[in-house]
Structure formats: structure tokens, C-alpha cells
Structure 1
């Protein structure tokens, strides 16, 4: 470390001074210092000793006093710039994008070798992600990681882990669950604990949260349970946000529901709903409210279940939370189908389909299966079959093989009831192939009572 200064700042200053002087690296190279050595010094690679670094500083006209003075000024600029970038991140975190965050970023032009370049590039990715331009977002996150590694920046904010986490989220919303899990595991592997309040935010807890979510989606329940059990024990130590804490409540309730520990799951749901309501985190407490309703549904306490699903719709009267709204409408359709109230069942499942098609494609295949069930139960196979077929194709495209199996099994039942032998044979062959491939019997979802 030269003169006790941060090496990443010193490297930035050297490169900046050289460029402002109009020199390329090869212009400064001579018999005493090769172009390769200069490149290694500026990139922080290779085994370049401090004596050689000091020699290069002298070539740039920098001595200890001038270097420290420049570093001091750059650190002051960086402190101001960091604050500006953090404000932009807060805008993105609060979904207040518009054109403001992008415009603010564009007014801050920084060099790609600047110590804050990875953070800046990550924010560019966030802007694209907010617009659902996932390919461009992923490109920027990967570039931010590459910049951090290329210039050997000594970041204390775990920007590499943050970028990997965002890459995992981009994959998840596109139903690329295996890739999402891959990226979040890379983020956890890159994570470095820092003492005190060095971190811009606690990213480890959200990453573990996301890993549990992806494992649940992949039906790897034991692995997900291990993560959630550990996080539950430490839930009051989580510094990141109430969003992360409420996700722990949500996933724990889901796991307890699967284990049929309904009483414990109900208490967790109620506690999570109160926590979310007090902190005005509507999308989280509505999700947990749906889970609570589903627990009552599984216990065939239909009045209680209907009450909570209807409450979700009442709380989301403006339709700002399509995921929760889709789930509530779907569960209500299941209840009304069980009660043979076909008009209500069809009305609610159609509303669920409309929301899922417009706003939340991730839920669409499940909604289509429930729709197919409603029509099949009424022997209306003309409407049921297209629902199952579309659900099967969507599940195949999204890699949701258990859901594909469910759709195919229901489709086979339709063809059997219709005595459409050829179609039944083709479908049942697909069912058997999937059953053999996955060694499964049924999907862990609620489609009917």
C-alpha cells in the first residue's frame, strides 16, 4: 500500500492523471518500465513491488505530498457521489422510477475505471430491470461485476453479491428458477462480512431469503426448511428490511402448511399480517393473508377461508398487487366450485385469468388448471381442454414439470371421459414419461377441495 493509501484510489488517481496528461500507457513505457508493468500497476494485478509503483508515480510527476492531496480531493468527491448514487438507489427501491432515476444517472458521468463505476453500472441495470428490460439489466449487472474484478476495487458494500442477487431476481421473474438459484449461490459465495456499519445494506439476509424461495419453487423443501429455520431463529437480528423479515414469515408458514402443522402456521400468519399491516407493507401481508386462507381451505373451514380471500380483494381494491389478487380470486373460485356455485366460480376464475394474463404470468398456468377443473367438473370439456393444453405448454416452457404433469393428468381424464381413445393414449404416454422422469405422484398445490 503506497503511503498508507487505499490502493484502489491510488490506481484510479494514476490512471486519471495519465489520461488527463494525454498519455497512453505505451507512451510512458521505456527500457526501465515496460508497458505490461504499467498495465499491471494500474489494474492491480501481478506481483509489482511498491518500489516500482513509486517509480511509476514519479514518471507521472506525483510525489507523496501531491498524491495525498489528490487522493484527499478524490475521496471528498467520492463521498458526495456515493450519496447521490444512494439516493438514486432509494428511488429505485421505492419504485419511484419514472424518468427521474435514469436522468439523474445520465447527469453523473464517471469513468469506467472509477472506484464507484460498479455501483453506477449496477444502478443502470436497476433502471432497465424496473422497465422489465431483463436482457439489458443482466448485461449491466455482469458488466458491473467485471469492472469490479478487472480493476481490483476494494469495495466494502458487497456490490458483486448485490449484482448476483439482482441477476437471480431477473431469472426468477422469467421463470428460470435453476439459473436464479445458481446466481444467488454465487452471490452468497462472494459475500464478505464487514464489521460495524460499513455495508450499504445487509444483502446476505435477502439472498438467503431468495435462495429459500427458489428452493421452494424447485420443490427442494428440506433445503429450503434448513435456511428458513436458521433465519427464523435469527429473525430479530435482521437489519435489511421488514420486507425480508415478512418473507421469512411467509415461507415459514408455507413450510408449516406443507407439514400440516396448521395451528402453528396460523399463528405465524397472524403475527406476520399484523407486522406487515403496522409497517404498511401491503404486498407482503396480502400474500400471508392468502396463505392463512389456504390453511383454512385445507382444513375445509370454508367460511373462514372465503373471509380472508375476500379481505385480500378488499384491501387491494385499487388492484395494485396482481400476484395477491390472482391468488385470492383463484382460491375463491376453488371454494365456489366445491359448493357447485358455477356462476361465481366461473366469474372469479375469469377475473383471475384476466389479471394473470395482463400482470402476472407466473401464476397463469395454475389459474388455467383451476379453470379447466371448473369446466371439467361441469362436463364442459370443450372449454376445459384448451385450459389444460395451454397450462401444459406454459409449464413446459417455464420448466415447471410438476405443474406440466398436473395439467396432462387432468387433460387425460377429460379425454377418458369423452372416450377419445387416441388423444387419451398420446396424453397418458406423456404423463407416464414425466412420472418416470420426476418420480412424482402429484404437485404440491391446491387446485380443489
Structure 2
């Protein structure tokens, strides 16, 4: 056996061992040590041929059959990769049911092939259906079985599974656990997984977002600075544009408006060049909010009206609710009551249709504020109470405080002293809770 053959045979032996769920210790005995098995698997030259033959016999493999088995395995791997790609494509276009059925067919044909990958894809299906419990269970299984799955070694499947677990937690506003999963994903990330090295930057980006959501803004800024140094290597436009959006928004919240506008505009140019409408949409919204906070209402309105031309091109309709709320807020500041109400009614309608509690809570809050300004206090309180209920349900503590404050103002203006006293107590308790748990902020 020459060095090339030894290397290929070693890889094949390692793959067979992992597929069978065997450890090095399970194969070692008085005739062959774990160190020798490890050397064989790594293709170390000058290993005694008799030791290789002995190891193959323990695995019930005839050395003369290896070339045929390796060729067949390669063909099977290519065929499975194609099928897995088909499943991922189904998930991307929203056909999670079809993807699950296809995965069942794959399992019937090859029940023991690439178990981690199958569980991972099932997790993506359930995440697409927003069945977080099942999704998290499948991603957990993918991580547990990743050491048995040769395909997972090539795709950084363990790190990607942690990334998806983090996203499941973030969808449920559990930012602490989301951050832990993202950091664990970075720990297990393996350099050199061809075509899958970009997950590192996605995990780093998510870590920035989760730190920001937890109110750990200084840490978020430092993590973003660290990620910024990798810009020449980042190929994922989505990650790159999220970086620009978050940097612009962080500067906006720090009232460094010149920097916020600069980064928003730079991001917009990148998004426009690549025709990334989602990124373009998000950055124009941040730019519009920055101008609004500068009381530059004309430029703010220009931004929001431009965004309206993109609404049919974005994939995340939830972000449309945020823009409508921003525009409604601008019209409220300008006392354009009719236009503000039309826009905010649409935001509420979309929030209800999408069944997104966080965005619906925002739309209801803005509608309540508008009705309060119009002195329609009873209707305002109705909207604000719904907003607070959804905010409490989703642990959006800042919005809970803001909602109770607006409700208290309504009761004060309408002379309802008993309700004012009760709401003031609730406002105090919510502020106390927020002070004790600064991680309950909702900035992004």
C-alpha cells in the first residue's frame, strides 16, 4: 500500500467506524492499540500492513473489496447530497410538508445513512412551520449524532445546528439561551469545511444581535468591531448588510446621527448594487428613523415613501409592519391624523394576519398613541391594553412600560382616577422589573 492508498483507506475506515457508532476504544485490543487505529485512520505512513488487515477484519471488511466499496460509497454520497439539496430547496420555497415527506422516503431507502443531516433538515422543516419545540428537538438530535455522520463533517453541521437552535430561541424572545447557543456554535466551528465556512460569520452576527437585545450594548459594539475585521472574507450579502444595518442603528441610538446616516447610506449602496431588497428595505427604514429623530421630517418622509416602492419585493413581511409604524409615527408628529390612521390600521391588519405578536404589539401601541393624541381616550386604552398584553406575553419589557405610561396618561386626561391609580401601580411594577432585569430590553 502506498501513502495515497493508505490515506484513502484510513479515511474509509474512519467513516465506517463512525457510521457504526464505534469509538477507537471499541476496536482496540491486545493486538492493536487506539494509537495505531488513529494512525491508520489519519493515513500515517509506515503503519504495519498486518495491523491494517487486522483492523479491517474486525470491521468485517475484505481489503480486496475496498475499491468497489469506496466507489459505491462516493456514488451514494453524491446521490444523497442531491436529495438533501432538493429538500433544502423545498424548505426555502416554503414547502415544508413536501420536504418532510421526501425525507421519509430517503429514510425508507437508506435508514442508517447520514442520520444527523436528516434530523437537521427535519429541524429546518419544523422551524419553517414555527413548531419550535419539534425543531429544537431535531436540531438537538443532529448535534448528538453529528459524530456518526460523515456528511456532517464536511458541512459544519454541528455549528449550523447550534445556529438554528439560537434562531429558534430568538424567535421566542429567549435571548439569553439564544446567545449561549450562538457562542457554542462558534466553539464547535471547524475551519476548512469547504463552502460552509461562512457560518462562522453568521454566528458572530447573531451574537451581536443577541447581546444588543440583552441590553449589553458595549459588548455588542465590541463584537461587531471584531466581525467588521472579517469583511473581506464575508461572502454572504445578508450577513454583510445586517452588519451595516446594526452599526447604523447602534449609532442612531447613541445619537451619533452623522455616523448612523453614513453607515446606512454605505449599506444602501451595497444592497442596491447586489439587488438585495431585504437589506435595502431595512437600511432605508433606519435612515428614515434617524432623519425623523433629527426632526428632518421631509427627508424622513422621502425615505419612507421610497420604501413603499419596495414593499412587494421583500421576503420578510414583518419588516413592512415596522416601516408602517415608523411612517405612522412621522405622520403623528406632523399631526397628519388621517394619513397616520390609515397607515397604522394597515400595520395592525398585517400584524393580525401574520400572527406575529411582537410586531402586532408595536402596531397596536402606535395606534393607541395616535388615538390618545386625537383625545379618543377610550379607544386608545383598548388598543394599548392589547399591546401591553402581547408585550408581556413576549417579554418585551420596555414596551410594557411604555404601554402602561400611555394608558395612565389616557386615564389622567379623561379624569378616571381609580383606573389611573391602578395603572400607575402596574407601571411602577413593570419599571421595577425592567430595572432588576436589564436583559429584558427590546431595542433591535
Measured after TM superposition, the shift of residue 102 of structure 1 is 4.1
Deviation at 1:370, TM superposition (A): 1.4
Q: Retained in 2: the 8 A contact 1:292–1:308?
A: yes
Within a 5 Å distance, the mapping from 1:267-346 to structure 2 comes to: 267-317=262-312, 321-346=316-341
Structure 1 partner of 2:431: 435
Provide the aligned length of Structure 1 versus Structure 2: 414
Aligned partner of 1:349 in structure 2 is: 344
Q: Do the aligned partners of residues 96 and 365 (structure 1) sit closer, same or farther apart at CA in structure 2, a change above 3 Å counting?
A: closer
Partner of 1:92: 91
User: How far did residue 204 of structure 1 move?
Assistant: 0.8
Of 152, 170, 173, which residue of structure 2 is paired with 1:172? 170
Matching of residue 398 in structure 1 with residue 383 in structure 2:
no
Residue by residue over 1:411-440, the C-alpha shift from the partner in whole angstroms, topping out at 9 and shown as x without a partner, is 222222233233222222222223233339
Q: Which residue of 2 aligns with 1:206?
A: 202
Partner of 1:132: 130
- Distance change (3 Å), C-alpha of 1:139 and 1:61: closer
Post-superposition Cα deviations, 1:228-286, rounded to whole Å, max 9, x if no partner, equal 122223212213x1111111111111111112221222121122122222222212210
**Cα displacement string for residues 16-47 of structure 1 (whole angstroms, at most 9, x for unaligned residues):** xxxxxxxxxxxxxxxxxxxxxxxxxx422646
Structure 1 residue 60, shift from structure 2 partner:
6.2
Residue in structure 1 matched with residue 74 of structure 2 by the alignment: 75
Residue-by-residue CA offset, 1:98-151 (whole Å, 9 max, x unaligned):
76544543442365543x221222112222222333332222111111222467
Tell me: CA distance 1:80–1:326, structure 2 relative to 1, closer, same or farther (3 Å).
same
Q: Pick closer, same or farther for the CA change 1:68–1:102 going to 2, 3 Å.
A: same
CA 153–47 in structure 1, closer or farther in 2 if over 3 Å, else same: farther
> Secondary structure of the equivalent of 1:156?
helix
Report the alpha carbon displacement of residue 65 of structure 1 after superposing the two structures with TM.
2.7
**Residue of structure 1 equivalent to 2:44:** none
Q: Which deviates more from structure 2 when the two are superposed, residues 163-172 or residues 145-154?
A: 145-154
Tell me how far apart the structure 2 counterparts of residues 352 and 261 of structure 1 sit (CA, whole Å): 29
Q: Secondary structure at the match of 1:5?
A: helix
- Pairwise CA RMSD: 3.0
**Corresponding residue to 2:16 among 7, 10, 13:** 10
Q: 1:46 to 1:283 in 2, by over 3 A?
A: same
Distance 1:75 1:427, change over 3 A: same
- Measured at CA, do residues 153 and 92 of structure 1 come closer, stay the same or move farther in structure 2, by a change above 3 Å? closer
Is the partner of 2:106 in helix, strand or coil?
coil
Q: Secondary structure of 1:145's partner?
A: helix
Residues 182-193 of structure 1 mapped to structure 2, 5 A cutoff = 182-193=180-191
Is the CA contact 1:176–1:398 (under 8 Å) kept in the aligned structure 2?
Answer: no
Partners of 1:191 and 1:206 lie apart in 2 by 11
The separation in 2 between residues aligned to 1:232 and 1:135, in whole angstroms, is: 34
Please give the alpha-carbon distance, in whole angstroms, between the structure 2 residues aligned to 1:152 and 1:286.
Answer: 40
Q: Which has the higher helix share?
A: 2
Aligned position for 1:23: none
Name the CA shift for 1:64/1:5 in 2 (closer, same or farther; >3 Å): farther
CA positional deviation for 1:80: 3.2
- Following the alignment from structure 1 to structure 2, what is the Cα–Cα distance between the partners of residues 327 and 310? 14
Gaps of 5+ in 2: 1-5, 38-52
Q: Is the Cα contact below 8 Å between 2:371 and 2:379 reproduced in 1?
A: yes
Contact 1:330–1:348, Cα closer than 8 Å, also in 2: yes
Task: State the 1:199 CA deviation.
Answer: 4.3
Give the secondary-structure state (helix, strand or coil) at the position aligned to 1:315: coil
> C-alpha separation between the residues in 2 aligned to 1:280 and 1:226?
29
Which of residues 2, 15, 23 in structure 2 aligns to 1:44? 23
Query: Following the alignment from structure 1 to structure 2, what is the Cα–Cα distance between the partners of residues 321 and 332?
Result: 18
If asked which structure has higher relative contact order (CA below 8 Å, sep 6+), I would say 2
Residues 277, 314 of structure 2: 8 Å contact kept: no
* Residue 143 (structure 2) aligns with: 145
1:320 to 1:69, Cα distance in 2 relative to 1, 3 A:
closer
**What's the offset of the Cα at 1:309?**
0.9
Structure-2 separation of matches of 1:438 and 1:65: 69
